Structure 1
């Protein structure tokens, strides 16, 4: 059971879901996928940082992972100052699949696929398809706004 997170696709904002004046929970994958895609993963030592970035970011608890090498989040934030090219779409797909790879490693899913497309200036659409261990499928679409700071 996870804390349910609401995602406003138009405003590109997140908030905890509330049900009867209490925090709502969910047993599906949506909140886990939201955290995986929209939390900033620490950049690799050889990643080119956006010109506005002063650090490698990342979640503080990644310094003490339960399993060696586990990292939370995605490196989508590294695309914040990139031009809207096919190469950047390719990296967005790679970063998204990397962020969701834990689902396969933890035997929650057998396959993860992400496609990326530009839907307007500065906004990526990520179409996520996950085949779960029981062969059911999770599909959802998320928009990601690149911050040109």
Structure 2
């Protein structure tokens, strides 16, 4: 995975910042599918079936996009799933605000970025330049 953190390209092996690591885990750990989703298989973390806090979920539903064709509407769904997966940042008071973008960058390419403004007003900007290929491995 190619990840750009505050302008510096990194691999997942170079992640030392706990917040950056938490974001990557939140996005690339598969959350249990919702009732309205029609997953091809029973994907998602089994622990979501028995949360310690009611309705608490870990991960994202980005994996649901891998069974779809990449269209101009796909980034809209990706942005929704990313926002959902990272909503805990503001709910738990880790971040003051969160801005998520997802863009189709080619026939078979989609990227996403996340800008997190922490409570101390510092900014963490993450960019996933090869999100589509990461989902479709």
TM range (shorter): 0.7 to 0.9
Higher RCO (C-alpha 8 Å, min separation 6):
2
Question: What's 1:147 paired with?
Answer: 136
How many equivalent pairs are there?
127
Q: Report SS of the residue matched to 1:48.
A: coil
The TM-score with structure 2 as length reference comes to: 0.80
Give how far 1:15 is off: 5.6
Alignment of 1:46-61 (within 5 A): 46-49=36-39, 53-55=40-42, 57-61=43-47
* Unmatched segments (≥5 aa) in structure 2: 4-10
Whichever structure has more helix as a proportion of its residues is 2
Larger gyration radius, structure 1 or structure 2: 1
Whichever structure has more strand as a proportion of its residues is 1
In the TM superposition, structure 1's runs of 4+ consecutive aligned residues that sit over 6 Å from their partners are none
Question: What's 1:35 paired with?
Answer: 25
The TM-score with structure 1 as length reference comes to: 0.74
* Unmatched segments (≥5 aa) in structure 1: 1-7, 18-24
What RMSD, in angstroms, separates the aligned Cα atoms of the two structures? 2.2
